[in-house]
Amino acid sequence: MKVTVLKTAEEIGVAVAKIFTDEVKANPDCILGLATGASPIPTYNNIIKTHKEEGISFKGVKTYNLDEYCDLPKADKNSYYTFMHEQLFNGLDILEENVHFLDGNATDTDAECRRYDNEINEAGGIDIQLLGIGNNAHIGFNEPADSFTDGSFKVKLTDSTIEANKIYFDENPMPHYALTMGVNQIMSAKKIVLIATGPKKAEAVRNMIKGEVTPQVPASILQNHNDVEIFLDEAAASLL
């Protein structure tokens, strides 16, 4: 694991955006795995900035998002579909048919998960996967569990995750279920970049990097990947 500690979330955003835009320059047909939440927002702002300033086209790029809430309309302001369009896709020339999500409203969620995994594998697999980390060390919505998960699946969110994310839900209650890529699917990305900022992440970050590899700390599996870059601010790095 390559760990970089920077002063601010904005500096992290600049550094991580460069990794992604360099990939798009080198490989205009690349496949990107994307994440939602507060952590990637400065990265997305800086990807849009570089796209505009340097004219890098995203027309050949395909994206696959990590997860999506269940039982929330696709157009809801809190869906991850809406988040990604507002925070990134609307600022790029990416093609709508090239952005992919798990369908949290699918009636047959097992079939939906198999469809998603097959599509990623048939596209050639993810070149770079962006991750945040939960206060409980989840990646995607892979919550602490007795075993590492494999492909995409429907998950019941833990109280810790509901507590952290419910601040975004003012009108409708926050869904308690989501579809998420599984741990092994995430680990099959060729490169993984994880961002963590703020003191609430410090314990999860320490356990991810310094603790044993255990499904009780889902992010600890990243110790077994040969190309992981972790970007932290000083607060998130404070227990290392």
Using CB under 6 A, count the residues that bind ligand PGA: 7
Which parts of 94-133 interact with ligand PGA (CB under 6 A)? Answer: 132-133
For ligand PGA, the closer of residues 51 and 138 by Cβ is 138
Cα 82 to Cα 49, 104, 202, distances in angstroms = 20, 13, 29
Tokens for 189, please give them.
């990305």
Q: Assess 237 for contact with ligand PGA (CB under 6 A).
A: no
Burial 210-229 (b: 16+ CB within 10 A, else e): ebeebbebbbbbbeebeebb
Alpha carbon distance 220, 224 (integer Å): 8
- The question of whether 67 is a catalytic residue gets the answer yes
- The question of whether 229 is a catalytic residue gets the answer no
Question: Which entry of 98, 143, 207, 233 is annotated as an active-site residue?
Answer: 143
Is residue 50 within 8 Å of 17, Cβ to Cβ? Answer: yes
Candidate residues 13, 33, 37, 175; the one interacting with ligand PGA per rule CB under 6 A: 37
Is residue 118 within 8 Å of 100, Cβ to Cβ? Answer: no
Q: Assess 218 for contact with ligand PGA (CB under 6 A).
A: no
- The question of whether 143 is a catalytic residue gets the answer yes
Candidate residues 25, 28, 38, 159; the one interacting with ligand PGA per rule CB under 6 A: 38
* Type of residue at 154: K
Q: Assess 39 for contact with ligand PGA (CB under 6 A).
A: yes
Question: Which entry of 138, 165, 207, 233 is annotated as an active-site residue?
Answer: 138
Which residues are catalytically annotated? Answer: 67, 136, 138, 143
- Residue numbers of the site for ligand PGA (CB under 6 A)? 37-39, 132-134, 138
